[in-house]
Amino acid sequence: MILPGGTIGILGGGQLGRMLIQAGRPMGYRFHIFCPEAESTAGRIADTFTQADYNDFEALERFARSVDCITFEFENIPSDSLNKLSQITPIHPKTNVLHICQHRQREKDFLKSKQFPCVQFEYATCLESLKKAVETIGFPSVIKTAAFGYDGKGQIKLDSEKSISDPLALWETLNHPDRVVVEEWIEHKGEYSVVCARNENGDKASFPVSENVHIHHILHSSTAPAPISDGITQKAHTLAEQLADTLEVVGLLAVEFFLTEDDQLIVNEMAPRPHNSGHYTIDACHTSQFQQHIRAITGLPLGKTDTHTPAVMVNILGDLWSKTPPSWNHLFKNPSTQLHLYDKGEARKGRKMGHFTVLDKNLSHAQKEAEALFLELKA
């Protein structure tokens, strides 16, 4: 157990790291951020900040010896670096969890081998194998790069044979990847996610299921608790907790699902860290996903996960800064609205700059109000 007063090391300097610090500092923890960027939103508020490359083993060793445990706020960290760190200081979740979840082939192989519900898929490492994989899966389907994919990056939907009439152009669009996964396209009624916490004792606690809406492959909004049946909610929680147990996660595991037309849940992706779709928990739950992650990795008892008020979280992207900063006063017209900006500097198209959350005991009212406020920000 790492009691308050201890130091938590975080690999990565983005907004998830920032929100971990904001959740853990009132609990008495100190934080050391390690990332390659000289300027980072998490680094600005950390107790200690190391700027170094993830392959700088000397810097990694100094970092590991300065903290009581290590966690991460994004997945694209080299395995060799994680192995080096784990020899010195505990990493949560463990390195094998990240190794599986950071690569779509390994993730899909894991789901299939453990008989979790997932889409049909094939792999391709060159143009010839890409043609064969697409022939096997059929249309519609989607090509995804095996590594370094997020927010829709490295994905192309194939609607018909015409979509692959020029496979070389497709390969170039994907930036000549080492490997891709070709997946069947799932016609679904909705996209949902569960953030599940698990500690070293195997205790688990899942947050309410959120219903997620994406625009151009980037999460736009999350509604929680999701307006689905109790049976589907229970199934989503059970699957997330079974996955956390099978992976022996210590920390958080976010699981994204498709809900098919016949009410079957299909696991789409997993993330062993706090998740964008769980941001509503900051304002709507007794324990936020960020505090829960800290509780899990330090050995403290897990907190309550139910919502005290239904909520809708809406992402704020850099697109809204097209000419001038958004007019934030619109948001505060609703006294139940909470604004979170990430202090990330330059606003760029598609860059997550913040989010806002609308709370209302009537979920339908919250959804309507959230969309109305978003349209006012865009205006």
CATH number at residue 161: 3.30.1490.20
364 pLDDT higher than 80: yes
Same-domain status, 169 and 196: no
Across the range 31-45, mean pLDDT stands at 97
Instruction: Give one word for 95, left, alpha or beta, with left for phi > 0 and alpha for psi -120 to 50.
Output: alpha
Same-domain status, 234 and 358: yes
Beta strands in the chain (DSSP E): 7-11, 30-35, 48-51, 69-72, 121-124, 141-145, 155-158, 180-184, 188-198, 204-206, 210-215, 218-224, 251-260, 265-271, 311-317, 337-341, 352-359
Same-domain status, 214 and 354: yes
104 pLDDT higher than 80: yes
Asked if omega into 225 is within 30° of 0 (cis), the reply is yes
Sign of the Cα torsion 264, 268, 271, 272 reads: positive
d(CA 94, CA 97): 6
Structural domain contains residue 107 = no
pTM attached to this predicted model: 0.95
pLDDT at 67: 98
Give the CATH number of the domain where residue 61 resides.
3.40.50.20
Concatenate the DSSP letters of all residues of 213-235 into one string.
EEETTEEEEEEES-SS-HHHHHH
Structural domain contains residue 102 = no
Where residue 327 falls among pLDDT bands split at 50, 70, 90? confident
Structural domain contains residue 336 = yes
AA letter at 263: D
pLDDT at 153: 67
pLDDT at 292: 98
72 pLDDT higher than 90: yes
Q: In whole angstroms, how large is the CA radius of gyration of the chain?
A: 21
- Domain around 125: 120-184
pLDDT at 149: 60
Where residue 154 falls among pLDDT bands split at 50, 70, 90? confident
pLDDT at 269: 95
d(CA 321, CA 338): 19
Angle at CA of residue 238, ends 232 and 240, nearest 5°: 105
Structural domain contains residue 2 = no
- CB 338 within 8 Å of CB 360: no
Across the range 275-290, mean pLDDT stands at 98
Q: What are phi and psi of 57, to 5 degrees?
A: -65, -30
pLDDT at 182: 94
Structural domain contains residue 106 = no
